[in-house]
Chain A
Amino acid sequence: MLEIQSLSLRYPNGKLALSNFNVSVNPGELVIVLGGNGSGKTTLLRCIARILMPTSGEIRVNGIDLSQLNGERLRCARLQLAMISQHGSLVKRRSVLANVATGALGRCADWWTTLGGLPKHELEAARGCLSEVGLSHLAAQRAGTLSGGQAQRVAIARGLMQRPRVLLADEPVASLDPEASHDIMRLLRRLAAEENLAILCVLHQVELAYAYADRVVGIRDGGVAFDLPRAEVSKDAVRRLYLSEAA
């Protein structure tokens, strides 16, 4: 479903952020990317979402190469790909339901939506997505009043509203307490299985990777250090990822 082949990114200052990176995520699979600070984890996700333009390589989502697309074609292709970030990135002054419903904007081209309204049927669908993340009781609440864990769940619900095939999660449990972190990871695990989503998730918490990942990808200096099923990832291999950061 998501196939990254020989992806490289060199910044204008000459720094190589990603080097010949290869990874694939199948439907229903939760792949967790581990790596030290500055190893290229977030850059990888930003490249896949085409926030950053890769220098070379392919980003295939459902067979379509995003790396070569621009403008309207890129916007349409992006509909298959949802991304959640560290802090949810919700519009704080809007209601939780409206925030979730904005996930459908990509497929709404009517005047009402253009002027800031949201179609009734999409609001109904948003209620369904909210209920899927267990927050339907907060629909009318303002997004700015949510806790970190709740905001992250709402962001996931907004991602689901897109009806994506691939979900990218950039440190979705950063700044959450352990219980909330496990809640979010359980939710991602369930969505991968039930919605048949391909999920690529960047994490710093090694124990969460061991607990929830189907596969773990280690990233070091912008390249793949290892790509193994969870059970085959040794603690030494993980330690080496972070040792290189300390050095």
Chain B
Amino acid sequence: MSTADIRRVPLADDTWGHALTMALRAVGVVLVALVIVQSLIVVEARPQDLITGIHGMADIIRRATPPDFSKIDTALWPALETVDIAIFGTLAGVMMAVPLAVLAATNVTPSRALYYVARGIIGFARAVPDLVWALLFVTAVGLGPFPGGLALAVHSIGMLGRLFAETIEHMDMAPVDALALTGARRVQIFTHGIVPSILPSLLGISLYRLDENIRSSLVLGFVGAGGIGFQLLTAMNLFQYREVSLLLIVIFVIVLTVERGSAALRARLA
């Protein structure tokens, strides 16, 4: 076969391959366009309402300014409650997620059956939104910050359990094997080999989760699970827009402070 022959054969194949690729791309573009259009229809998107509603929005902004700083003292306790719900939820979530993650990591799980059980629990905890968990816990233990903390804890188990398990699965196993060969027991291998290797990643993930939980705890109050969200909902229902704007400023400060603090700590751990 000459050089020209060698070139000609793939070129013919390439032409068909190219045409097929283009056709598949066109089908892909049409599908994406269809998905976008159906979503616009389903949500009844009417951009013109934004323009006609501008007067209503301007009215709300006018009624919300200036923020009512005289009520700052009443906002402080719910603000602290919001942060504490997130701290409690994160800590409890971490404590429950760590053992589950060990069982759910393929490289260290003691048995296949436990692996599936742990993965099942983690998946279920993650699949149910934290707001739904909050509704369930409010029904179970009553109104207040405790059901909020429980809701965040359970949802965090799902998110943290999965990330912790992935961290364990991606760790370097050579030091763990080396410890096993020294005659160390299983628990010792975990505390002396696995924990020191993954601790910085675990702390980083937990701090990120705290950051997320702070945001989540803000809205848990809407379903009676404590925190500043409950006060925000009450102020809105009573058309106290100046108090609403004050609470939004407090929320902004909390979120920004925790976000910056968490980012700085994670950077130190990296």
Query: Interface on A for B, CB 8 Å cutoff?
Result: 49, 51, 75-76, 78-79, 81-83, 85, 87, 89-94, 102-109, 113-116, 155, 158, 161-162
The stretch among B33-41, B179-187, B259-267 that forms the contact with chain A is B179-187
Give me 29 A-to-B residue pairs in the complex whose CB atoms sit less than 8 angstroms apart, sorted by A's number: A49-B181, A51-B177, A75-B185, A76-B183, A78-B181, A82-B181, A83-B178, A83-B181, A85-B178, A89-B175, A90-B175, A91-B175, A91-B196, A91-B197, A92-B175, A93-B197, A94-B192, A102-B179, A105-B183, A105-B184, A105-B185, A106-B182, A114-B187, A115-B191, A116-B192, A116-B195, A158-B182, A161-B182, A162-B183
A113 touching B174, Cβ below 8 Å: no
Residue numbers in B under 8 Å from A51 (CB-CB): 177, 181
B191 touching A116, Cβ below 8 Å: yes
How far apart sit A6 and B204, CA to CA, in the bound complex (Å)? 51
CB closest residue in chain B, given A117: B191
Within 8 A of A (CB), among B177-217: 177-179, 181-185, 187-188, 191-193, 195-197, 199-200
How far apart sit A106 and B175, CA to CA, in the bound complex (Å)? 15
- State how many angstroms separate the Cβ of A139 from the closest Cβ of chain B: 17
Residue numbers in A under 8 Å from B191 (CB-CB): 114-116
How far apart sit A93 and B188, CA to CA, in the bound complex (Å)? 16
- State how many angstroms separate the Cβ of B164 from the closest Cβ of chain A: 17
Among all A-B residue pairs, the 9 with the closest Cβ atoms: A106-B183, A105-B184, A116-B191, A89-B178, A89-B174, A79-B183, A91-B175, A105-B188, A78-B183
CB closest residue in chain A, given B187: A114
Known A-B contacts A102-B179, A105-B179, A155-B178; the reply to A91 vs B193 at CB < 8 A is yes
Q: When the two chains form the complex, which single residue of A49, A76, A85, A106 contacts B184, counting CB atoms closer than 8 Å?
A: A106
Known contacts A82-B181, A104-B182, A113-B188; can you find 18 more A-B pairs with CB under 8 A? Answer: A51-B181, A78-B182, A82-B182, A85-B174, A87-B174, A89-B175, A91-B196, A92-B197, A93-B196, A93-B200, A94-B196, A105-B184, A114-B185, A116-B191, A116-B192, A158-B178, A161-B182, A162-B182
CB closest residue in chain A, given B197: A91
A102 touching B174, Cβ below 8 Å: no
B185 touching A109, Cβ below 8 Å: yes
A91 touching B185, Cβ below 8 Å: no
A107 touching B183, Cβ below 8 Å: yes
Residue numbers in A under 8 Å from B181 (CB-CB): 49, 51, 78, 81-83
How far apart sit A116 and B190, CA to CA, in the bound complex (Å)? 9
Query: Interface on B for A, CB 8 Å cutoff?
Result: 172, 174-175, 177-179, 181-185, 187-188, 191-193, 195-197, 199-200
Choose among B172, B182, B188, B191 the residue with the greatest number of A CB atoms under 10 Å from its CB.
B182
How far apart sit A90 and B197, CA to CA, in the bound complex (Å)? 10
- State how many angstroms separate the Cβ of A140 from the closest Cβ of chain B: 15
Residue numbers in A under 8 Å from B174 (CB-CB): 85, 87, 89
CB closest residue in chain A, given B195: A116
How far apart sit A116 and B179, CA to CA, in the bound complex (Å)? 13
Known A-B contacts A51-B177, A85-B174; the reply to A91 vs B192 at CB < 8 A is yes
Residue numbers in B under 8 Å from A82 (CB-CB): 181-182
- State how many angstroms separate the Cβ of A29 from the closest Cβ of chain B: 21
Residue numbers in A under 8 Å from B177 (CB-CB): 51, 85, 89
Q: When the two chains form the complex, which single residue of A49, A76, A102, A109 contacts B192, counting CB atoms closer than 8 Å?
A: A102
B182 touching A103, Cβ below 8 Å: yes
Q: When the two chains form the complex, which single residue of B178, B182, B183, B199 contacts A93, counting CB atoms closer than 8 Å?
A: B199
- State how many angstroms separate the Cβ of B268 from the closest Cβ of chain A: 14
- State how many angstroms separate the Cβ of A178 from the closest Cβ of chain B: 24
CB closest residue in chain A, given B186: A75
- State how many angstroms separate the Cβ of B174 from the closest Cβ of chain A: 4
Choose among B178, B179, B195, B197 the residue with the greatest number of A CB atoms under 10 Å from its CB.
B178
- State how many angstroms separate the Cβ of B178 from the closest Cβ of chain A: 4
How far apart sit A79 and B192, CA to CA, in the bound complex (Å)? 17
Residue numbers in A under 8 Å from B193 (CB-CB): 91, 102
- State how many angstroms separate the Cβ of B199 from the closest Cβ of chain A: 7
Residue numbers in B under 8 Å from A93 (CB-CB): 196-197, 199-200
- State how many angstroms separate the Cβ of A96 from the closest Cβ of chain B: 13
How far apart sit A106 and B200, CA to CA, in the bound complex (Å)? 26
How far apart sit A73 and B178, CA to CA, in the bound complex (Å)? 18
Choose among B177, B183, B200 the residue with the greatest number of A CB atoms under 10 Å from its CB.
B183
Residue numbers in A under 8 Å from B178 (CB-CB): 83, 85, 89-90, 155, 158
Residue numbers in A under 8 Å from B179 (CB-CB): 91, 102, 105
Residue numbers in A under 8 Å from B183 (CB-CB): 75-76, 78-79, 105-107, 162
CB closest residue in chain B, given A115: B191
- State how many angstroms separate the Cβ of A163 from the closest Cβ of chain B: 11
